[in-house]
Amino acid sequence: MTEQEKLPEVQWVGSAKDLDKITYVDDIAKIQVPIKVVDQLPFKNEDRGDSARLREVIKSIRRNGYNNFDPIVVRIGRRGRWVIVDGGHRLTAARIVAHEFWTNLFRRKVDTIYFLLFRTPLSNTRIDEPPDEAE
Domains contained in the chain, number: 1
Residue type for position 54: L
pLDDT at 118: 94
Instruction: State the residue range of the domain holding 84.
Output: 3-118
Q: What pTM did the predictor assign?
A: 0.83
For the chain, 135 residues long, the average pLDDT of each consecutive 10-residue run is 68 92 94 94 84 96 95 93 94 95 95 95 73 54
pLDDT at 49: 82
- Asked if residue 37 belongs to a domain, the reply is yes
pLDDT at 54: 95
E-strand spans in the chain?
Answer: 10-12, 28-34, 72-76, 82-86, 112-118
- Asked if residue 130 belongs to a domain, the reply is no
pLDDT at 24: 94
